[in-house]
Every structure is written in structure tokens, then in C-alpha cells.
Structure 1
Amino acid sequence: MKPGQSLSVCALLLLCMAGTGNGGNILVWYTEGSHWINLKPVLETLIDRGHQVTVLIPSTSMFMNASEPSRFRYEPFNISITMEAMEAFFEEFLHFSMYEMDHMNYLQIYIRFMDLMKRDLQYTLQFLDGLVKSDTVMARLKEAKFDLVFADPIFAGRKPTSACEMMGRADIWLMRTYWDFEFPRPFLPNFKFVGGIHCRPAKPLPEDMEEFVQSSGDAGIVVFTLGSFITNITAEKGDMIASALAQIPQKVLWRYKGEKPKTLGANTRIYDWIPQNDLLGHPKTRAFITHGGTNGIYEAIYHGVPMVGIPMFGDQPDNMVHMKAKGAALIMDFNFMQTQDLTDAVNAVINEPSYKENALRLSSIHHDRPISPLDEAVFWIEFTMRNNGAKHLRVQAHELTWYQYHSLDVFAFFLAVALLLTLLFIKSCSFCVRRCCGRKGKTKRKAE
């Protein structure tokens, strides 16, 4: 995901351009990280249903790869940012989020964060320049006559001054969460919750991994990953975590990049990559140690696995607060947790029945839906094209001016009425006082 953004409020943005019947022509805006993972199954399903899909892809991307086999067409565009610069920036952001922020006051955090976000905005504008200032690419896009733009607003394809306005023009928002994760609150009719669109039943594990899992016996296994971005764990922190994992009876499969921890126990194996969904769906899985990314949380919900969260940045702390409030997780602080803290947390979510029960309850809610999240996402995309947009679902607040939106015109009217009534009251009182005082004065003069 993009630094500093929150997945919990992020949506997939649909902007209808021109309605069609069956077999629409869809343009997909570029994105990164877990957001791209979410988009891919939707795009594959759209192709299965006869739609043409074109994906914009920058020349430098950490996750999108135009050379990998795919059934959708890529539309590449060049940007001036190198992969080294992008990785260096993200490494700096991760170091700030993981190691610096907890030791700063609010003012220091704000100054440092705003500096990072200014550079992030510069990169975003360079991405945009590489696209809209390419006459060749823009000519091809205009000739294609797309019926729909499918975009993730985390990567703004707009000028910063008009971002809110353009996002407000979206016909349908596909939210990456569902009511197994969210708490009830009012939403507009064009907000559709499709959390878990990437989740699927577990597939068999590689033979050597399955052998290690089966060697766990009745104790089972713990799956541990801090996501694909986290590669900067210090040797000291790695040793502390490994020491904690060595004290639990379960076997541990740990996705880890870096120097092998000196305290790594015999019950723990480290991997450059693990089939996370397939491991979470394995009957021997007892707990999931996670950084709190939305995709990982939803795979754990899908399979009913309790969690120990070690959130790092972005939406991850908020995600884990949701899971803790739902009774399916405990939260550790990356900078301040000690060996025994992590050991106790893992033992708690495994041995205290409430965590597993709550995880299974969330899983039941997740699966008990009239339509799968993937099918629902595709339905609303096609709905938007069939109906030449979804204007009837958009709140009229988007059509109001800023002063109308904040009811300032209504406030001004009532203020004017109140002032008028106050003025009339004062004038009436003044008139009555003058009349009364004047009559008394005349009576007194007559008496004299």
C-alpha cells in the first residue's frame, strides 16, 4: 500500500464514462501493493464474463509486472522515478513508522510525516505527468473509447486541488471491508462492501512444507508474516522474536528476510515466501501472527483463525483494533514488546477458547452472504455500465456548493429572521415605552 494511507477507509472507485451493453471496455488505473492483489481477481472475472480490460502500468512499479502472464492488456507509460529511488523512499518511510515514531512527540511526528508526504506527493505527480503528458498514450486511450474507469483512489489520477471533487463523482464505491470487520454506522447506497474478494479455499501445501506442518502433531502450527514490505527488522528484534517463538509448543512457519536469528528454535522455520492463504486454511493452524494488513486479516477471518497483531504503519493499527474489539486478536507493540509478552500473547489466543470462538463467529458472518464478495463486486461494475452510471444512488450533497453543503445559506436565513425579530421586538418595546412615558408626562402636566 501507499505510505500514510488508510486501507480501512479506502475504496475501489468507479467512474462511468459511457454506457454499454454486454462486453464492456474497461480501463484500470494503476495501483500498488495489496490493492493490486485485490484488483486482480476482479479483473480476471470480468474477462471471464466477456469484458475487455486494459491496465495502466508505470515503467517503475514494486508489484505490477507487465511481463507476467495475464489475460488483460497492459498499457505502459514511462515515469522518471527509478526503482532504487522508490525503494529508498519506502524504506525511509518504514524506518520512520517502525522505529522512530514511538519515540517522538506529536510535533516531531507531524513535521517528519509532512516532509515524507510532500515527497510522496511529488512522486505521485511524476506518475501522473508520465501518463497525461504522453501524447502517444493519451491518444491511444482516447481512441479506445472506454466505457468505465476502474480506479483505486489511493493513487490519485488527478490534480491535488481537484481530488475531492473527482472522487465525489464516483458512481459506485467498492469498500474492501465487510460487517465481519466493520461496526454499524450510516452509509450511502452507492457504498458496497466487498471485503474478502481475494479469499479462497486452501490448496495443498508444497510437499516439504506439508511434511513440516504434519510433524507438529496435535499442537499444530503458527503462521507468522509481517507482510511483503517489511524487510528491515533489526538483528536484535529478530533474535527477540525468535526467542519468543522458540518457547511455544507449536511449529512456526515464519516469512522472514534477513540474517538468520541466532535464537531461532528447532520448532521454527523461516521462508522467503509462504502460501499464506493455504496455510491459514490448513486444519493444523492454531494462530496467525500478522502485521495487520487488510488482505491478511481477511484471509484469517475467512478461515476462522485467531490473531496476534504487530501493526507497523498505515491502517494496520486501526485494523488490529477492530479485531481486538471483536475478540479475535491481541495486539503487541513492535518497539516495546519483550520476549515473554509475545510468548504469552500467542499462548493466550491459542489456549483461551474465546479467541477461536470469536474468529469462527466472524468467519460464519463472512460466509453467510447472499452473494460472494467477488460476484458482488463484478455485479456492481456491470450494473454501472448497464445503467450508464449510477447517478440515482449518488447523494445530492455532491451537487451542492460548499456553503450549501454546510447549510450556511440556511443558517444565514435563520440568522436574518432572528435579527429581524429581535429588531422588531426592540422597536416595539421602545415604541411602547415612549407611548407610556409620554402619556404619564401629559397626565402629570394637566394635574399641575
Structure 2
Amino acid sequence: MAISIRHLASVAVCLQCLRVPAQGGRLLVVPVDGSHWLSMRILVQELHARGHHIVVVFPENNLVIHRAPEYSSKTFRTAYSKQHVRDIYRSLIRFPFINGTFFERFSENLRLIQKFSDFFLITCEGLLRDSELLRELAEGEFDALFTDPFSPCGSIVAAHLSLPSVFLLRGVPCGLDYEAAQCPRPLSYVPRHFTGNADRMSFSQRVHNVLGLVMESVVCHVTYSPFDELAARFLQKEVTVKELLSRGAIWLLRFDFVFEYPRPLMPNMILVGGMNCKDRKPLPEELEEFMNSSGEYGAVIFSLGSMVSDVPIETADQIAEALGQIPQKVLWRHTGVKPSTLAPNTKLMKWMPQNDLLRHPKTRAFISHGGMHGIYEAICAGVPMVLVPLFADQLENVLRIKNQNAGILIDLKNMSSRDLVEALNTVINDTRYKENMMRLSSLHKDQPVKPLDLSVHWVEFVMKHKGAEHLR
């Protein structure tokens, strides 16, 4: 009988280890449209697979957020039509073509930032004016709120509903995230936005870093001061965006130190760079044939991301001419006018399975704008890059890859066909670029917990414990 009891105890322990909660938690998601949502969606899908009930709140007119079986959808109206939303995001392509002095370009960039700030503000006002939706959410008995603090709207809703929040982000464009989390950013080795500095700086670069701090303050004021007023009016008390963000329980940061320069972090800042990397899936038959037909030279994958899939026709013609001069075949995600110089080796696509293509054995190089999604997919696949930054944090991202000698940076505005040909030939034929990217890939993959699993753990942690006060 004693043996049977021991056996029963062992079985009970095993079942306890393997048990799945009979009832999952309830998570409210307030996303940011565009590529930001593409990152959040990966985690939302995984949380759904683990038994949690998820409600996603988004505007009726948006770019990439759609109804899906993995979550319940709650929509609200805004002042923008779908075409207006599309036009606003398309204006991003203007960033790399701004001319003038440094301060003239900074001023024009500031105007574009103001345009996006107004867009996010008016969208948020649409949500906060929907009293019926807010009443439904208040009755939803949620355990936590998941959002991207790039737009503070989710933090305002979290304060209104008294919910702990989990943030997923690459960064806020003016360092407000680190200020809110009370995380130090020493000017001597933590580069500021807009400077192009690395972590090792000369005296003049450190002076430039100080000027970058001033510019960050201007950007913060332009971008987020209107939200201070909105939050105070809606919550009926004096409050700032910084104060709202400071209440964040966990910050899931979409980078790691294989990619990012060493810097201080707070206990509630968790590195989850590469959470979007997935195993390779079989390609559609047509694409598989195209890749295999590339022979010993292989193929080049070209995408400027989910938000900008076309460029001015003059630039597109220049790019197509260059791609026709290399021996590789090329898959180019492009939805604009077909370039007149398009060569037989180049195939245009409106959408492509980028992760699966990058992991294909025939892939030799990746031309990218430098978004975090694409960079980590390239790191995971070990594919060297030709980098063409367009806007936002992309210049900073590509400089980190360039400094690792895993890619070559090209200025889109001043690029010639010859520049692109030389860059591609270099990253493909100079084995150091491939070796360096494979080194980054090996380091990134050598982690005790996969980034996606780590992300899920911390969201579930906040849901279970109603926050993470001990880490703040």
C-alpha cells in the first residue's frame, strides 16, 4: 500500500507540473496601428493559444488590425477615413528625401512628427468619447492591459480602469520611456536619438549627444504634451504622460544585447528581441521554384517593411536598374508602379513570406529599411543585409548592424544604381559579412528561454499578481 501511495504522489506531482488552468485570464489590448501591431499580434496569438481570453480595442478605420478568431474585437469610430489613414502612413516615405541643413531637416521632421502626433491624439479621443465601449470594458473584469506606449492612449485607459499594464516597444522617440521607468541613460555612453552615435564616443560626439538630449526634449513636447491635456481632462485630475507610463508594471523591450549597445536597465525591463522569429515553413510552390532556379548565385530578398512598400518612381527605376546588374535572382515587395527598368531576374510581389524566404538556403542577402522585425528575422536566419533606413528608429537600428560589420548602410536619397550594386556584391561575396551575421545569430539563439516564451511569462505574471510593484 505504501508503494501505491508513493506512486500516486508521483503522478500527482507530474500532473501538477503539466496542468493547464481550467480558466485563463482576461487581457485587454489597446494596440498602435501599423508595424507596432504586427509585433503585438504575435504575443496575442500565443497568449490565446495558452488559454487566455483577449479583447482588442481598435479604430474602425485602420491599416492592419483586423478581426480574428484569436481575440474578441471592439471597435470605435474616429474622424479619419480609411484612405486618410493610408495617406498619413504613406507620408512616411517623405522622411529620407527631406533636403536642407541639419536644422531645416530637423524642423521638417518635427512637422511630420506633429502630423502623426495629431493623428494618434484624435484617434485616442475617439476611443475616450465612446462611453458605451468604456462601460463595456469597465465591466469586462480584465486582469491587465497590454499596450504600446508609443501612443499613450492605452495608458490612459489603464488608469481609467485601474488595471496594471504591460508595455511592448522598441522605444519612445524621445527617451520618455526611460525617464518614466526612472532608468539612467548616461550621456557618456548611451547615444541619444537623432545623433547617429554609438556607445563609444569622442569628445565632439559627446557634445553632439548633449545636443541630442535637447532635441529629444523638443520632440517629447511636440509629441506628448497634447496627451497630457487629454489625460488630465478625461481622468479629471492633473496628470502627465510620464506619470502614466511610470505606472507600467513590465516593459517588454524588442531588442537584446546581441543587437543593442550595453546600457543600464531597470528590473521591470525585459529584453525580448527576436520574439517574432519563427521556424521556416514550406514556401508556396511558385516561390520554391523561383528560389531553386537561382542556381549557385542564390537570391536576394528586398522589402521596405509593412508600412512602405513603394518608393518614388524615379527611385524605383534606379533600384530596378541596379538589381538587373547582379547575377542573383531578386524578390522585391513593391506595390507601386512597375519600374520601367525592371530586369528579368527580378520578381515583384505585393506580399511575401519574409521569414520563410530569409531562412531559405538559397538566400544570399536581404535589402531592408531596418525595422526591428526584419532585422531580427535576418539575425535569426544569419543573412547579411543592405540597409536603407527611411524614418523613425530605423537609422539607429541600421547603425547597430553596420557597426557589427553584418551589413552595409545606403542613403536612399543620394543612392545611385552603382552604390546598390557594389553594396550587394560586397555583402554577398565578402564572407566576413555572412560570418558576422552568423555569429550574431548564434549568440542570439543561445538563450535559456525563447523571447516569445519570456514575453508570455511576464504578461501572465502581471495578470496573476495584478502588477509587479516589487520590480519598480
Using structure 1 for the length normalisation, give the TM-score. Answer: 0.79
Corresponding residue SS for 1:144:
coil
Name 1:391's counterpart in structure 2.
Answer: 469
Kindly, what percent of the aligned residue pairs are identical?
41
| Corresponding residue for residue 90 of structure 1 | 89
1:125 aligns with 2:121: yes
**In the alignment, is residue 147 of structure 1 matched against residue 143 of structure 2?**
yes
Q: Residue 250 in 1 paired to residue 299 in 2?
A: no
In structure 2, the CA distance between the partners of 1:330 and 1:94, relative to structure 1 (3 Å rule), is: same
User: Does residue 172 in structure 1 map to residue 250 in structure 2?
Assistant: yes
**1:410-441 deviation line (CA, Å, top 9, x unaligned):** xxxxxxxxxxxxxxxxxxxxxxxxxxxxxxxx
In structure 2, distance between residues paired with 1:184 and 1:207: 43
Which residue is 2:133 aligned to? Answer: 137
**CA RMSD across the alignment:** 1.7
Task: Report the counterpart of residue 23 of structure 1 in structure 2.
Answer: 24
Structure 2 letter corresponding to 1:30: P
- Letter aligned with residue 124 of structure 2: L
Whether 1:160 and 2:160 are equivalent positions in the alignment is: no
State how far apart, in whole Å, the 1-side matches of 2:436 and 2:347 are: 28
Partner of 2:79: 80
CA contact (8 A) 1:253 1:269 kept: yes
Contact 1:224 1:290 survives alignment (8 Å): yes
For residues 232 and 225 of structure 1, do their structure 2 counterparts lie closer, same or farther at Cα, with a shift above 3 Å needed? closer
Residue 39 of structure 2 aligns with which residue? 38
1:341 Cα shift?
1.0
Secondary structure at 2:336's aligned position in 1?
A: coil
Matched, 1:277 2:355: yes
CA contact (8 A) 2:27 2:144 kept: yes
Task: Give 1:254 shift.
Answer: 0.9
1:210–1:44 Cα change, 3 Å? same
What is the alpha-carbon distance in structure 1 between the residues aligned to residue 306 and residue 466 of structure 2? 39
Query: SS of 1:149's equivalent?
Result: strand
Query: Residues 293-322 of structure 1: CA distance to partner in whole angstroms, max 9, x if unpaired?
Result: 110111101110000001111111111000
Number of residue pairs matched by the alignment: 370
Preserved contact between residue 92 and residue 391 of structure 2 (Cα < 8 Å): no
1:55 aligns with 2:56: yes
Structure 1 contact 37–198 (Cα < 8 Å) conserved: no
Distance in 2 (CA, whole Å) between partners of 1:71 and 1:324 is 38
Tell me the SS of whatever aligns to 1:88: helix
Shift of 1:202: 1.2
Listed one character per residue, the Cα deviations across residues 14-66 of structure 1 (whole Å, up to 9, x for unaligned) are: xxxxxx99621110012122221111121122122221110001111111112
* Pairing partner for 2:277 from 199, 211, 218: 199
Tell me, yes or no, if structure 1 residue 108 matches structure 2 residue 175: no
Q: Against the structure 1 CA distance between its residues 21 and 121, is the aligned structure 2 distance closer, same or farther, given a 3 Å change threshold?
A: farther
Code of the residue aligned with 2:394 in structure 1: it is Q
Residue 345 of structure 2 is matched in structure 1 by 267
1:146 deviates by 1.2
Q: Report SS of the residue matched to 1:343.
A: helix
Q: 1:347 to 1:358 in 2, by over 3 A?
A: same
Q: Given the two structures, how large is their TM-score scaled by the length of structure 2?
A: 0.76
Cα distance, 1:82 vs structure 2: 1.2
- C-alpha separation between the residues in 1 aligned to 2:111 and 2:314? 29
| Structure 1 CA distance for aligned equivalents of residues 51 and 262 of structure 2 | 36
| Aligned positions of 1:361-440 closer than 5 A | 361-394=439-472
Q: Deviations over 1:335-372 (max 9, x none)?
A: 11111111111011011111000111111111111011
Secondary structure of the corresponding residue to residue 302 of structure 2: strand
Q: Which residue of 2 aligns with 1:350?
A: 428
1:267 to partner: Cα distance: 1.5
Q: Aligned partners of 1:124, 1:21: CA distance in 2, in Å?
A: 38
Alignment of 1:222-371 (within 5 A): 222-371=300-449
Partner of 1:435: none
Would you identify which runs of 4 or more consecutive aligned residues in structure 1 move more than 6 Å?
A: none
Q: Deviations over 1:392-414 (max 9, x none)?
A: 111xxxxxxxxxxxxxxxxxxxx
In the alignment, the residues of structure 1 paired with residue 376 and residue 324 of structure 2 have an alpha-carbon distance, to the nearest angstrom, of 27
* Rg larger for: 1
Is contact 1:196-1:298 (8 Å) kept? yes
User: Which amino acid is 2:467 matched to?
Assistant: G
Residues 307 and 349 in structure 1, CA contact (< 8 A), matched pair in contact too: yes
Three-state SS of the structure 1 residue aligned to 2:259 is coil
* Mapped partners of 1:80, 1:265: distance in 2: 43
Using the alignment, how far apart are the partners of 1:240 and 1:79 within structure 2?
39
Greater alpha carbon shift after TM alignment, 314-323 vs 201-210: 201-210
Q: Which amino acid aligns with 1:32?
A: D
How many Å separate the matches in 2 of 1:118 and 1:343?
36
- Shift in alpha-carbon separation, 1:260–1:348, aligned structure 2, 3 A: same
Distance 2:288 2:309 in 1: 25
Q: Distance in 1 between matches of 2:412 and 2:119?
A: 29
